[in-house]
Amino acid sequence: MADQGGEDLTRAQTQQQRAGFRARIEEKPTLRRTYRVGVAVLGGIVLAAGVIMIPYPGPGWLVVFAGLAILATEFHWARRVLDFARAKYDAWTEWLARQPVLVRLGVLALTGLVVMATLYLLNAFYLVAELVGLGHWTWLQSPFFA
C-alpha cells in the first residue's frame, strides 16, 4: 500500500511546480497573452471536435467536456459553461435512466437517424458505394456533392 505522506508530498511538489510555471507566465504580459491565445485555440479545436462527435458512437461528450476544461483553465466564462453543461448532462442521463425501455430505444433510434442523416449529407454512403463498385447508385449521393 502506498505511503500517504509520500503521496501528499508529491502532490504538494506538483502544485508548487504548477504555481511556479504560472508565475513565470504571469510575469511577462506578452507571454501571458500568447499562452491565453494558445489555450483558446487548443480548447476551441477540442470543443469543436467534441460537438461534431456528439451524435456518433464514442467519446463525443467527453471531448466536449475536455475542451471546456482546457478553456476553463484561462477563462471564467468557460468554467461557468462547463459547470452548467455538466449539470445538464447529469440531469439528462438521470432522466433517461428513469425512462421505460421504449423511450430509451426511441432516443437511440433518433440518435441513429441523426448519424445516418449526417453521413448522407457528408456523402459518406456514396463514397463507400463507389469503393465497392456501386457508383451507379446515384440515389446515395448527397445533394451537397451532386
The whole domain housing 21 covers 1-98
Entry pTM: 0.61
The 10s digit of each residue's pLDDT in 33-69 is 999 999 999 999 999 999 888 877 778 889 999 999 9
> What pLDDT band is residue 2 in, cutting at 50, 70 and 90?
low
- What lies within 8 Å, CB to CB, of 50 at 6+ separation is 60, 61, 62, 63, 64, 65, 66, 67
**In total, how many domains does the chain have?**
2
Looking at the structure, tell me whether residues 66 and 8 fall in a common domain. yes
Looking at the structure, tell me whether residues 22 and 93 fall in a common domain. yes
